[in-house]
Chain A
């Protein structure tokens, strides 16, 4: 195994970069030219001269508290701090002199006088800035010896045995890091990181003068009970061992690192995986990562322990029927068994009787191979991906309006937004690193509009408050979006010049006439949507006239029977106001999983080949037929819900499902379970015996993102490298497993590295034409389209014109979902995610993240709870026409009366027993966000839950090989 050595400059330049006119100054006799506003410290660092520092770091604004970075500037009095002093033309700076050396030693001496000198046994030994600076300033002696009688913060007791009132014990409440106040130098970097980088404001400096200490939350709080979200920014910023990863305390300071990409949400943060040998010690957000710029969240930063979890299955397993226990076998036997069964099913039930599900968690290369398996080896187009159940309406809606199925911006664009409109998304929980960027912009003064049935955290959080929150009734998105368009059109706020130049004028006229109809006014639709008409008008005016306005949306938009229509409505709003085609604006779907964008790009959908080109087009098929040497079926294949329906009808019999737990994640669990039970060969390729595996005949062990090479494409179309950090514990990378299965079925594939798969993608897919691993290594990452016209990729789309030519306005009539409340089911259930858990929880439930969320709870308004006699923490039964489950209730006014909310991270509560078979009209994306339910008192798990648990236990029995 080799390390990836890329000459990235990871030095800490002390203060953040600035953009401005060039300014030239002299530092220690060397000329250096930097942008106006740059600090003297950063200018010196750019000239290769590091000024000693403790309280400065280039992820945070300068603070000027440690006084270690003092310099001399000709013509100025005294010794200014280089971190807080901006450069000036012709400035002459000296970073070293006898006077400065003397001052720095004095400062250092004072710091060390209140610091325990246990360096050899300290967890930060070798990775401590205090230690480094003591060396840099030549500290040789400490005159202010911390004798027992001298006040200090690090000795629990003085020599007479009296307790030291200034000493505070370690705070080990957070499962991932330890706060040891004894080692703190009160540089405030952690406090500033929590404010500036993360935006949570959980930390503060309590006390004054010598009594100053870092404190989490309010008096009596610890890190866990405070507002801390465990993003790790403070740990990252700490120059000493005061805030230290527990893994480093346990395993030692890591000695090598590999740059890779997080496998959780669609933000796609770059991390440095830091190791000793092949022991992963910690994941540190990489400062040059273009999606995260050195920030992280609790999942990517800390929740990687699942990769080593004892539940991981490392040997292939098979069984003849799902009532039998699993039998561990070798790879050859498992693959032969799988291949024979699949071919046998095709012989008996037809070529179209089997299919695949590609994973939005696996790499592009892996998704590409799995869809290729269906199209080139199975000989059908029965391929779908879990994007079906999240963002397929984005694909359809944006494809229709703009001509391409992707977000229009990069994340950096939010720095230029004046108005941010968040619809049906909860970024602080589901896309936390981007949410921090967004909150930073909001603190700088950008205005916020939130359209969501729930009062999400973003509506009101420290130093952020929504200008408008429209708490709409679930299922009425289209009515709200169209009412906004009504206000824009009828109040003359539309950007006619933009529309005339960039959009189809005839279609605009139809649309304007439609939107202007009084039945779409906020007042007319209020009874339906529950939204205050004045608030809606104010929101529409703000969006249309507030400057650069950007829309960010999530699954609260797509997972509806009119999901695609809402996406079109959002595209209409952007075109109406000219908010597309430049920085700071745009339409931005926040993708749920790490590679949702990529799995869609890679041709996972049954109707289109890689690059969103319909399988019915002969010229497109010809490209792949030539590359693959096979005939491709010109007809679209089955989508995931169609596969289930066909299975129940008896004509879909076999499924290869990679890295996706359809039983837990798809709606109407009872229906999905029946469909899986009706199949004769279900192959689950995963890390764990997931819920779907209860119904599987073949289990192929998967590899984690730490164990393979490849690429993920994030929500901003950014193709990031995933690099092999350690050897796969199961023996093979996932693309190798797919290749072995394909070859067992006669494919004759011979890839030896994922780079070759990417080369094939580039050769067949115009938007990827310029992509290869060398380019990504060179640039760090690249946003598609990447081709001859855009060799370095495309941060902003539709700049001079829409991909389809003229932007298309589409009439968006509100059509209510069939899912209605009534006397039996009077409440509306909507579902979502929480920060600490990820999707079905297969990964995060196997980490210490469970301390934040160990069970799904039902959020219910106190009014609805009272009328049902439900108290905080009670077991309640949640029932819909599809099924019933039980879970504990929590009373909150985050949800409106009439609406209840839960997360879906735990299989034992299984929110999807409740959700129904209804789906988006265009794409069959399930309507997870609206289910009519009743909530009643309960004593504990329902009969279904008990049966399900028993079945799970039975299905997971394993007979080990060679006993």
Chain B
């Protein structure tokens, strides 16, 4: 799956949860991804989050760093 597409989708999700009250946007993004994204997509997003300058929203990067319910990918 193309990184570009995943980044766009993750950024859209981050943009929504950023606007929600109560803080904790990255946890909400992580929960959304765990609920709706197949594990392969989540794994790829984790890998993207490890790269600098990917264009992935900081909230999504933070969400991905929590593992998204998968074994954590490390560099």
Contact = CB atoms under 8 A, between A and B. Distances in A.
Contact of A645 (B2, B16, B22, B36): B2
B50 interface: no
Given A635-B39, A648-B2, 16 more contacts: A352-B40, A565-B16, A607-B35, A607-B36, A636-B38, A638-B41, A639-B36, A642-B38, A642-B41, A645-B5, A648-B1, A813-B19, A815-B15, A918-B8, A921-B13, A922-B36
A44 B16 CA distance: 63
In this complex, the interface size class of chain B, counting residues with CB under 8 Å from chain A, is 20 to 34
Interface string A207-227: 000000000000000000000
B12 interface: yes
Helix, strand, loop or mixed for chain A's interface?
A: loop
B21 A811 contact: yes
Interface string B39-63: 1110000000000000000000000
A352 B38 contact: yes
B44 to A, nearest CB: 9
Nearest to B37: A636
Contacts of A813: 16, 19
A388 to B, nearest CB: 12
Contacts, number: 63
28 contacts: A352-B38, A381-B38, A510-B22, A514-B21, A561-B12, A606-B38, A616-B34, A636-B35, A636-B37, A638-B41, A639-B36, A642-B1, A642-B38, A642-B41, A645-B1, A645-B2, A648-B1, A649-B1, A810-B20, A811-B19, A815-B16, A818-B8, A917-B5, A919-B9, A921-B13, A921-B16, A922-B36, A923-B36
Contacts of B19: 811, 813, 815
Contact of B9 (A614, A811, A921): A921
Contacts of B1: 642, 645-646, 648-649
Nearest to A605: B36
A810 B41 CA distance: 27
A635 B41 CA distance: 11
- Range class of the A interface residue count: 20 to 34
A811 B20 contact: yes
B53 to A, nearest CB: 19
Contact of B32 (A514, A637, A818, A922): A922
Contacts of A637: 38
B48 to A, nearest CB: 14
A921 B13 CA distance: 6
A917 B1 CA distance: 13
A649 B4 CA distance: 12
B17 to A, nearest CB: 10
A629 B73 CA distance: 34
B13 A614 contact: no
A616 to B, nearest CB: 7
B35 A614 contact: yes
Contacts of A606: 38
A157 B8 CA distance: 76
A113 interface: no
Interface of B: 1-2, 5, 8-9, 12-13, 15-16, 19-22, 32, 34-41
A651 interface: yes
Residue with the highest number of chain B CB atoms closer than 10 Å, among A614, A642, A917: A642
Nearest to A918: B8
Nearest to B41: A642
A394 interface: no
A646 B35 contact: no
Q: Which 9 A-B pairs have the closest CB atoms?
A: A921-B12, A813-B19, A645-B1, A510-B21, A635-B39, A649-B1, A638-B38, A815-B15, A921-B16
Given A616-B35, A636-B35, A636-B37, A649 B12 contact: no
Nearest to B42: A635
Interface in A12-26: none
A665 interface: no
A116 B55 CA distance: 80
A924 interface: yes
Contacts of B38: 352, 381-382, 606, 635-638, 642
B71 to A, nearest CB: 13
A645 B40 CA distance: 12
Contacts of A382: 38
Contact of B36 (A514, A636, A810): A636
A646 B40 contact: yes
Contacts of B8: 818, 918
A634 to B, nearest CB: 10
Indicate the member of B13, B19, B36, B38 with the most A CB atoms within 10 Å.
Answer: B38
Contacts of B34: 616
Contacts of A815: 12, 15-16, 19
A648 B5 CA distance: 12
A818 B16 CA distance: 14
Interface in A808-824: 810-811, 813, 815, 818
Nearest to A614: B35
A636 B40 CA distance: 10
B28 to A, nearest CB: 12
Nearest to B70: A635
A514 B13 CA distance: 19
A645 B12 CA distance: 17
Interface in A893-929: 917-919, 921-924
A649 B2 contact: yes
Contacts of A636: 35-38
A642 B6 CA distance: 9
Nearest to B15: A815
B35 to A, nearest CB: 6
Contacts of B35: 607, 614, 616, 636
B25 to A, nearest CB: 12
Contacts of A638: 38, 41
B3 to A, nearest CB: 10
B60 to A, nearest CB: 12
Interface string A228-272: 000000000000000000000000000000000000000000000
A638 B38 CA distance: 6
B61 to A, nearest CB: 17
A918 B8 CA distance: 9
B13 A922 contact: yes
Determine which residue in B13, B22, B39, B40 has the highest number of CB atoms from chain A within 10 A of its CB, and name it: B40
A924 B9 contact: yes
Interface string A786-821: 000000000000000000000000110101001000
A496 B10 CA distance: 36
B41 to A, nearest CB: 6
A922 B16 contact: yes
Nearest to A382: B38
A653 B2 CA distance: 16
Contacts of B37: 636
A779 B62 CA distance: 54
B39 to A, nearest CB: 5
Contacts of A649: 1-2
A396 to B, nearest CB: 9
A245 to B, nearest CB: 48
A646 B6 CA distance: 11
Given A636-B38, A645-B5, A921 B20 contact: no
Nearest to A641: B5
A514 B19 CA distance: 10
A352 B21 CA distance: 37
A606 B20 CA distance: 26
Nearest to B6: A645
Contacts of A352: 38, 40
Contacts of A810: 20
Interface string A630-674: 000001111100100110110100000000000000000000000
A102 B22 CA distance: 83
A676 to B, nearest CB: 16
A651 B2 CA distance: 12
Interface in A558-582: 561, 565
Contacts of B32: 922
A635 B35 CA distance: 8
A923 B13 CA distance: 10
